Structure 1
Amino acid sequence: MTSRQQSSFPRQYARTRRYALGAPRSFTVSPDGSRVVFLRSPSGTEPAHRLYVLDLAGGEVRERVAADPRELLGGAGERLSAQERTRRERSREVARGVVGYAVDAAVELAAFALSGRLYVAELRAGTTRPLPARGPVLDPRPSPDGRLVAYVSDGALRVVPVEDGDGADRALAEPEGEHVAYGTAEHVAAESMDRSRGFWWSPDSDRLLVARVDNAAVEGWWIADPAHPEREPARVAYPAAGTDNADVRLFLLGVADGARTEVVWDRGRFPYLARAHWSAAGPPLLLVQARDQRTQEYLEVDTDSGATRAVHREEDGRWLELVSGVPSRTPDGRLVRVADEGGARVLVVGDRPLTDGRLHVRAVLDVGDGDVLVSASAGASADDPEIGAIHVYRVGPGGAERVSAGPGVHGAVRGGPVTVLASALPDRPGTRVRVLRDGEPLAEVASYAETPVLSPRLALTVSGPHRVPCAVLLPHGYEEGDGPLPVLMDPYGGPHGQRVVAAHDRHLTSQWFADQGFAVVVADGRGTPGRSPDWEKAIAGRHTLALDDQVAALRGLAGRYPLDLGRVAIRGWSYGGFLAGLAVLRRPDVFHAAVVGAPVTDHRLYDTHYTERYLGGMPQDVPEVYRANSLVWDGGLVEPREPARPMMIIHGMADDNVVVAHTLRLSSALLAAGRPHEVVPLTGVTHMTPQEQVAENLLLLQLDFLRRALPAG
């Protein structure tokens, strides 16, 4: 690696928001296949996204800008409400401008919020204009017929007509108290269930299904900025493990007359509203879960009375995984779901499984007349799975047909005869986006993302008795015979965080560390997604298995790669930070230093839905499980082993997901035990660390620590 690359990668990585800027994203295809709508910023360093339309009708492919935030704001900067900042934090949004949009049924009208104001883009006519809505506007969504836009403002669910003469902006539901909000997702839904929305239009555009969230019983936590003691702390309703959740109800609201009907189900038994779906194929569908997430029901809603009936029930002794895109319906009304059956995660339509253990279904992308488009990886029973590959399949009664080709991470969006296929490949930077009509190439959507100053020297393999998927990265210029290298384990290692993937850009940071003189190993052990339900659920109540697999993977690779097992460090963020801290505290015989980023050190301080799922209950019911999976317990270290290993602990002081109390309690316990460590507090920084200078210098700071902390070679 040249000196220019060594110094410029951290800066480029930070400036491009991890190479996400300039790349097209958030695609929607019109039902007739005549146009594709998407977002993209105009360069690889410009964070303000525009709304684009790719016209496909008439035999000529033409791309045009539908909304440019610079023009709409007259060059002024964005102003974000506290609620919008929270929404972006939950969705890990690092861009600005038009960061999200929603469309009507025909994909002729798009609505979006910009600087707290409501805008609509008429996608056929090519015009964009503001609507007179009450701000700050959150999550605007057009009615299917395109005549109204519903949105949330100050906890109220409101509607506004698109055209003058169709009425005025008005509230359909307003909060009855300071802790109540309509039309939004509560903390655990947005953070841990992957449900970011709180209202759904009827297919006839005459009613809305609206969530009412009451946080009165939820504990209030205070997020302060110690660097600015003159500012008041912000109160956050945070449902920590074992405490009360928000009270979530659903109402059917009539658009014309304001009629209000409560949707009734056994909320005492099934308090979690995990999913909602309403299409022209049938009545609304709900997916509700018990608090322990071992039982869930699919409910059908009677839109006249609000009563519900169970159309399917599922149980699992460990937990039931939530999958994107389901429940849904086929055009003829059959239930589409994804279930863990027979040791596999399969697609089920009606009562019939359409896939088997050869595929591990990860998401439903689209439901068509005769098939279902899914994202899937090779299941545990596959003969020779491509390590780290995620493909798109078209699944019908006759079986599954792969749409994507070659190793890579592929995703898709479909509308009528047109499919947008996005492919991140291991041997080229960025993501290639192709538009297919009836399976044949029609167009390619340009990416303006910057080309990275380095490329990964990547080897994908498996290691250890459990055949743990691994990525191994050696320095550019390293040759056989140069001798063993100090090792840097670079995992996430936990639920929902697959790191070993066949995609170029996912390994750039690991390669940069490798080029500083390390052999970098990324291992996806038990608990990580993409292989089988048993693989994911093996860690139920036993997060320490994730550490066991890191050790087994490391030792299994030592005979095949130049690894100096006398100099092994580990770095990680969030769950990876927990894993890094666990490594040096429990296995100092293997790990000699750790960078511990935003770690969950005491699971009693993390949210209900996530924590109680993986630890098998509430802390008051299974305290021994929480103790065994904690780095600290009531201020003391849990089972620290000698010798003591150096740790650098990093945490954003404004983090409202993994609050800084996790790091402060760990530091206090380490200090009391006389164990070496250093703490890097990031003032004003959240869990994402989106700030350019912070992201750049954190890489350099970690490198400096690792060079100081590891034993000399």
Structure 2
Amino acid sequence: MKFPAILVAFILAASSVLTAQKKEVSLEEIWSGTFRQERLQSLQSLDNGDEYVILNRDRITGSSSIDVYSYETGRKTKTILSSGDLDEIKSFSNFKFSEKEDKILLSTEVEPIFRRSTKEVFYVYDIKTKELKKVSDQKIQEASFSPDASKVAYVLNNNIYILDLNKEETVQVTQDGEMNKIINGVTDWVYEEEFSFVKAFEWNPTGEKIAYIKFDETDVPEFSMDLFGKDLYPTQEVFKYPKAGEANSKVSLHMYDVEEKSSEEIDLGDKYDIARETSEMNEDAIGDFYIPRIKWTADPMILSVQVINRPQNDLDLIFVDADDNDTEVILNETDAAYVDITDNLTFLKDNSFIWTSEKDGYNHIYHYNEDGDLLDQVTSGNWEVTNYYGYDAKADRIYFQSTENGSVNRDVFSIKPNGKNKSRLTERTGTNSASFSADFTYFINTFNSVETPPVYTLHKAKDGTQVREILNNQELLDKVSGYDFAPKELTTINVLGNDLNMSVIKPSDFDESKKYPLLMFQYSGPGSQSVSNSYYGSNDYWHQFLANKGYIVVTVDGRGTGYKGAEFKKVTYKELGKYEVEDQIAAARKLGEREYIDSERIGIWGWSYGGYMSSNAILKGNDVFSAAIAVAPVTSWRFYDSVYTERYMGIPQENASGYDDNSPLSHVDKLKGDYLIIHGGGDDNVHVQNTMRMVEELIQANKQFDWAIYPDKNHGIYGGNTRLHLFTLMTDFILEKL
């Protein structure tokens, strides 16, 4: 059919108007919250399984309330507590129920310490009597009810205390706590950062015992940071930070008898006695061990303890009998590289337990009896279990999340402990995650994909049937549709014999006959994932901004990243920065062969581990990359903490070449392109020392570069206009140099 010329002209004009109506995103919009996603407030299931509670805040009055909602209808049924009814406190920022849900711990005046740790003023609220009691006049850590809620244990100044709520008496459990020396009941810096927990004490189910970990960090070297602030003189923050190969805290496990008011150290066995002696005698401190998890079993007098050697390739699950403090190794797991620590250990009523392991090459679920004998491998296949949600005794089903539908996707499943009757509970392809009610009657599914921002729906756990939609982000979708965005494409690229996951964002007016500069983004840390079927984050909006400026933005997950099996992930063992960098260089070279990519204008950027990668990429791949940005980079693994670094690299005393051959500090003479390095001056995680050493090496090699330090900012480099300034700086660099 032939259209009249006037009609064709009209169609073209209309098309131009529609295109012109599309807005270009600005940096101010990205960092001011214009594209903020609506999220479901953090909820806590009540034991009845039919209701959940949410902490609500009244922006006008500043008050807080704990409100109860029905799972099935989503309607509010009652208010348990409102701070507006309390004289002593105006609001509270968090809460914890007692086991019987008859009392509540309220936290106020929260003061952050490090990533996960805080100091707070706690109150106990009695729901029945409506009485409010302050736990301590001082800011304390990790307040925790006893099982019958008659007592509260907490940590103050590195010592454990117990408040008897009935007698209004406080007992000091430990006496030797001292700043930068002895810690009882909470973790040291490196445990908090790398084993992801702070509270290092646990009541037993009857309230008779408290198991706790003691950290002796006397010999751990101190790290200091100058914080400049706005006063006439800067302050200095000093804390214990064990770098790779340096002395760790000496850890010990203790059992406190509440009635007798006495503690006893638990002898973990000859294996760990020898390890401690070796550590004390060896200047290289290679005989240490870690206690990354303690958890009471279904037997109220049996404590489970996970103990792992310093190289983190030999893990014991030990049972401690709290009656006589005898120990028994129930399960041992070893690996040629390392064993990951998880929170998946779950005890069933008969004290058999659920465990996850990579021992068959992929992360899967296993069921063991109370003696540590394998009953069943619950899941199997060339895919990974990515989240373990729990066990429903009534239905006799285990709930988990996995990559069975592809490594970039996530689905929720249920299965019998014997591995039979597996059922997929989610339908949409993308990233699905679940939050289950206390009795596993319902779960709230969070779904998102490259095209769909988070959608929250309620489902029946039995078969996945959707009950109702709770919240969607249609308003965000409508807003985004008004901008000149191109879709984020998911694909793969074959690099050095491996099919690697890749995402691509092209200019919205992409023309295959034109040449475009390429910017690669990556992280690449062990077990990580940057390419997934999930919706935009802040970086994606920035990448869209750059695409609008005529760049193609690509992310490739190379070897060492996660969710494709242990072999793919652990190939980087003792060689961090070798294979991951090879993959980024090879991918860039292969992409540069495409007709529409300008091989003379390929850049790369990353943050933290990604900054380490981008630094190595422009140095080792100086014939491929013409520009790189490194934000908060590690520049030598010798500068990073012991737990993380040695898990993947061993100790530097035994793997010097692995540390130095892949350090950007060893390759500064190779710099040819444009390089921007950025760091926060108050980074307690990846110290600014990394950037300062890199800067000095570049200066001595007479290499020109750009750099910026954000005073007093931590690893996230944020606060006020900081992120906007940072990304403006990075944008200007890219527009000028690439």
TM-score w.r.t. the length of structure 2 is: 0.83
1:572 maps to 606
Within 5 Å, give how 1:165-184 maps onto structure 2: 165-178=166-179, 179-184=181-186
Contact 1:326 1:337 in 2 (8 A): yes
Q: 1:7, CA displacement in angstroms?
A: 5.7
| Separation in 2, partners of 1:442, 1:486 | 48
Does residue 415 of structure 2 align to residue 395 of structure 1?
yes
2:529 maps to 498
Contact 2:25 2:545 in 1 (8 A): no
Contact 2:219 2:249 in 1 (8 A): yes
Contact 1:136 1:154 in 2 (8 A): no
Q: 1:279, CA displacement in angstroms?
A: 4.0
2:31 maps to 14
Within 5 Å, give how 1:232-247 maps onto structure 2: 232-247=235-250
Residues 22-51 of structure 1: per-residue CA shift (max 9 Å, x gap): 6235443233303224557789xx9x9967
1:525 maps to 558
> Alignment partner for residue 319 of structure 1, among 338, 344, 347?
338
2:283 maps to none
Contact 1:299 1:312 in 2 (8 A): yes
Does residue 544 of structure 2 align to residue 511 of structure 1?
yes
Q: 1:426, CA displacement in angstroms?
A: 2.7
Residues 143-202 of structure 1: per-residue CA shift (max 9 Å, x gap): 33333332222212223355xx34334432243433112221222221112233212221
Query: With CA pairs under 8 Å and 6+ residues apart, which has the higher RCO, 1 or 2?
Result: 1
1:289 maps to 308
Within 5 Å, give how 1:425-436 maps onto structure 2: 425-434=449-458, 436=460
| Separation in 1, partners of 2:20, 2:630 | 28
Contact 2:145 2:153 in 1 (8 A): yes
Deviates more, 1:671-680 or 1:435-444: 435-444
| Separation in 2, partners of 1:674, 1:200 | 56
1:92 maps to none
> Alignment partner for residue 625 of structure 1, among 658, 669, 675?
658
Larger Rg over CA atoms: 2
SS at match of 1:513: helix
Contact 1:240 1:607 in 2 (8 A): yes
1:88 maps to none
> Alignment partner for residue 503 of structure 2, among 450, 455, 471?
471
| Separation in 1, partners of 2:698, 2:589 | 28
Contact 1:372 1:395 in 2 (8 A): yes
Does residue 594 of structure 2 align to residue 553 of structure 1?
no
| Separation in 1, partners of 2:105, 2:260 | 24
Within 5 Å, give how 1:178-193 maps onto structure 2: 178=179, 179-193=181-195
SS at match of 1:344: coil
1:86 maps to none
Q: 1:139, CA displacement in angstroms?
A: 2.1
1:341 maps to 359
Within 5 Å, give how 1:109-258 maps onto structure 2: 109-115=103-109, 116-120=120-124, 129=132, 131-161=134-164, 165-178=166-179, 179-226=181-228, 230-258=233-261
1:301 maps to 320
Q: 1:545, CA displacement in angstroms?
A: 0.7
Does residue 722 of structure 2 align to residue 708 of structure 1?
no
Deviates more, 1:112-121 or 1:343-352: 112-121
Q: 1:257, CA displacement in angstroms?
A: 3.7
2:567 maps to 534
Residues 561-592 of structure 1: per-residue CA shift (max 9 Å, x gap): 84322211111110001001111111011111
2:6 maps to none
| Separation in 1, partners of 2:87, 2:550 | 47
> Alignment partner for residue 429 of structure 2, among 404, 407, 432?
407
SS at match of 1:508: helix
Does residue 626 of structure 2 align to residue 604 of structure 1?
no
Let me know the Cα RMSD of the aligned residues. 3.3
| Separation in 1, partners of 2:129, 2:486 | 42
| Structure 1 letter corresponding to 2:121 | R
1:4/1:230 CA distance change after superposition, 3 Å: farther
Residues 498-525 of structure 1: per-residue CA shift (max 9 Å, x gap): 1111111333343333233211111111
* Structure 2 residue runs without a partner (length 5+): 1-18, 110-119, 276-286, 369-373
Within 5 Å, give how 1:433-448 maps onto structure 2: 433-434=457-458, 436=460, 438=462, 439-442=464-467, 444-446=469-471
SS at match of 2:545: helix
Deviates more, 1:430-439 or 1:243-252: 430-439
1:579/1:451 CA distance change after superposition, 3 Å: same
1:623/1:445 CA distance change after superposition, 3 Å: same
| Structure 1 letter corresponding to 2:323 | D
Does residue 40 of structure 2 align to residue 24 of structure 1?
yes
SS at match of 2:657: helix
Contact 2:382 2:565 in 1 (8 A): no
| Separation in 1, partners of 2:534, 2:128 | 38
| Separation in 2, partners of 1:570, 1:70 | 52
| Separation in 2, partners of 1:319, 1:157 | 33
Q: 1:63, CA displacement in angstroms?
A: 6.5
Report how many residues are paired: 668
SS at match of 2:384: strand
Deviates more, 1:690-699 or 1:29-38: 29-38
1:85 maps to none
Contact 2:588 2:624 in 1 (8 A): no
1:153/1:23 CA distance change after superposition, 3 Å: farther
* Structure 1 residue runs without a partner (length 5+): 79-96, 379-384
Contact 2:561 2:569 in 1 (8 A): yes
1:433/1:588 CA distance change after superposition, 3 Å: farther
Contact 2:365 2:385 in 1 (8 A): yes
| Structure 1 letter corresponding to 2:397 | D
Q: 1:663, CA displacement in angstroms?
A: 0.2
Within 5 Å, give how 1:478-489 maps onto structure 2: 478-481=509-512, 483-489=514-520
Residues 241-272 of structure 1: per-residue CA shift (max 9 Å, x gap): 00011122222223344231222212626611
SS at match of 1:188: helix
| Separation in 2, partners of 1:517, 1:64 | 54
Q: 1:342, CA displacement in angstroms?
A: 2.4
2:97 maps to 103
| Structure 1 letter corresponding to 2:356 | V
TM-score w.r.t. the length of structure 1 is: 0.85
Q: 1:141, CA displacement in angstroms?
A: 2.4
1:205/1:52 CA distance change after superposition, 3 Å: same
Q: 1:121, CA displacement in angstroms?
A: 5.8
Residues 27-86 of structure 1: per-residue CA shift (max 9 Å, x gap): 43233303224557789xx9x99675443389774266767789989998x9xxxxxxxx
1:273 maps to 291
SS at match of 1:233: strand
SS at match of 1:626: helix
1:525/1:211 CA distance change after superposition, 3 Å: same
| Separation in 2, partners of 1:442, 1:270 | 52
2:3 maps to none
Q: 1:413, CA displacement in angstroms?
A: 2.7
| Separation in 1, partners of 2:647, 2:74 | 51
Q: 1:678, CA displacement in angstroms?
A: 1.4
| Separation in 2, partners of 1:293, 1:238 | 19
| Structure 2 letter corresponding to 1:641 | K
| Structure 2 letter corresponding to 1:388 | V
What percentage of residue pairs aligned between the two structures are identical? 21
> Alignment partner for residue 451 of structure 1, among 469, 476, 483?
476
